[in-house]
Structure formats: structure tokens, C-alpha cells
Amino acid sequence: MANAIILPRLILIFLSASLLAGATLSAATLSAASPVFAKQEETMMRLSVNGEMWGPAVVLLSRRGIRIKARIGDALLLPQQADVATLINPENKTYLPVSFPDYRDDLREGFRKPPRIERFEISSGKGAQVKTYRCFAHEHGKDIKTAEFACMPMIDLPLTVQKMWKRFFYLDDRDWGMPVAVNQMSHKHVMMNIAEHAWQTSEKNRMPTNPWIMVISMNEVKKVPVDARSFELPKGFTKARDRASLYLSVDGDIKPKDIEDLFRVPMK
């Protein structure tokens, strides 16, 4: 079928089974070794992801917040400051707080506009643990599929953190679950689809064969003991003056010499 998306269903089913098995093992271990009122070990979700959003990255989610570790740099999001994303550069030991919308929109360059969702269809994977939402918008008498989300149940995450994660994909407060694979039609292609009759009048103007963007795909999901340090600013890091200083400076305050070192050309 044209424009159809084939999500990695076998992988998602495996992830679902792994999560359930991990949760069962944890509960069995606690009940066998601890009294009823024993304090449970704090855990977090460790997601290994890929896609246009971050490229290869590790995402940590816990009641403490969200930590993203990617090649393009790290980010820390805390529930008590939900509208702030703190960018972290481990190479020069600097950090910079920015607004969450700015951070998200920078990541989504080229597919920034949120997909229109006027209606959606739901299908379930094996055991109903993975739900796939196929989203549509109606334009000029035609239904256009704008996005597809594969979601798993949110496990042991408070509502504030769930909302923080869903905001990356412009999802509202409905009980979607945890997005683990997201495909989205580019905004440009939606506009082309609306004017399809004009674009298909010549071979030169035919639409791209693959208008879909893999925003994020999940390679692995694990429930592991929480690493509290991942949800704190690293000790000894300096606040950068701006984004240029965050990524290009030696100490958080960019200077002409930093530019010279970067390009190996003296500044005039």
C-alpha cells in the first residue's frame, strides 16, 4: 500500500515481553526476600533509541525526570522545571538551561510542525501490550495519514514524567502510553498531498516515494536500578554564556582563540 509504514513489530513485541518479564522478576524477588513493608528498590527505564530526533542515544526515565545521552549532547529535564531543558556538554564540562519548546523544535528541524490528529485508528500487538495509533487529518475532501505512534504501557512513571516524554511528540494528555516508535509525514509532503492533482501532472513534479520521517525507533527497553547522578547536574560543570559557548568554548565563555582552534585559522 502506498505510504504504508511497517513498524518493527517483532522488536516491539520482544520489548513488551522483556519489560513484563523484568517487572515479574523484580516483584518475585522482592516478595521472596523482603517483608511486606520493605522499601522497594528505586528503578528507572533505560531506552536505547535511534531516529531523526537524537540519532543513536540513550534515554533514562524515572520519577526524578528524563536524562538524554546523545552524540549531539546531553539534556536533563526535571519535573519541578518542566518547561526547562538543561543542555549538557560533557566535553568542555558546561551546561545551559533553555526553554523546552526551543530544545524540542531544534531537534525536530525539518519536521517541526506537530502532526494534525483529527482521528486515529488503533491496532494491538501480541498480548495487547503494544498499541499502534494511525493518525489522520481531513483536507480538501481527502483523509491523509499524518503520523503513526507505537506505544507501550507507562510502567512506574509519575504523570508529570509521562507528560514530559509525550511532549516531545506533541501528544496531548490522553492515555496514549509510552511512545516507542514514531513515524511522521513531513509537513511539506502533507501540503503536496493536498495539491496532489497539480503535482502529478508531470514526471518531474511527482512526490517523493518515501515522505515519512522515522522520528524515533526503540532498539531496547530495560527496567534497571536508578542512577541518581544521571538526574543531577554534574559537579564541577560551568554554566555557559550561550549556545555557541556551550558547544565551541573551552570554559563556557567563547573567545576568539576558541574559534581559531576550531578552524585552525587566526582571527583577523
d(CA 66, CA 151): 18
Evaluate if residue 188 carries a pLDDT over 90: no
Q: Is 105 helix (H, G, I), strand (E, B) or coil?
A: helix
For the chain, the average pLDDT equals 76
Sheet bearing 212-225, strands edge to edge: 119-124, 131-139, 142-152, 178-185, 212-225, 43-50, 57-62, 65-70, 73-77, 84-89, 94-99, 238-239
d(CA 186, CA 184): 6
d(CA 224, CA 247): 31
Which of 180-184, 215-219, 236-240, 256-260 is the least confident region? 256-260
pLDDT for res 48: 96
Interval 114-137: pLDDT, tens: 777 888 888 876 555 788 999 888
Position with higher pLDDT, 187 vs 46: 46
Q: Is 37 helix (H, G, I), strand (E, B) or coil?
A: coil
Label residue 31 by pLDDT band (50, 70, 90).
very low
d(CA 14, CA 243): 39
pLDDT for res 39: 62
Name the most confidently modeled range: 14-23, 150-159, 223-232: 223-232
